[in-house]
């Protein structure tokens, strides 16, 4: 992690941003005291694509039918 004085950072901002974009953090300081950090941003999250599985799955006609008694007893612990 490189530490740069604020006056030097003003003149080299483009270079410092390039360093940060490549993964190296840069700390900007004034009078030897750290003030800010230039760091790489996370990439955008992958967007959700709806309908990707359309036509590949089927829902049975009895999907919401009551469960058989023996299965219900298993869920209820009887």
Note the pTM of the prediction, 2 decimals: 0.54
Cβ atoms of 39 and 18 within 8 Å: the answer is: no
pLDDT tens-digit map of 46-56: 888 899 889 99
Task: Report whether pLDDT(19) > 90.
Answer: yes
Give CATH for domain 2-38: 3.40.1620.10
| pLDDT of 76 | 87
Helices (H) and strands (E) in the chain, counts: 3, 3
Residue 43's pLDDT band, with cuts at 50, 70 and 90, is confident
């Amino acid at each position: 992690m490189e530490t740069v004085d604020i006056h030097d950072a003003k003149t080299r901002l483009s270079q410092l941003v390039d360093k940060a974009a490549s993964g190296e953090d840069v700390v900007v300081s004034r009078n030897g005291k750290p003030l800010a950090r230039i760091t790489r941003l996370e990439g955008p999250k992958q967007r959700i694509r709806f309908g990707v599985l359309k036509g590949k799955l089927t829902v049975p006609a009895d999907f919401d039918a009551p469960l058989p008694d023996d299965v219900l007893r298993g869920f209820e612990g009887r």
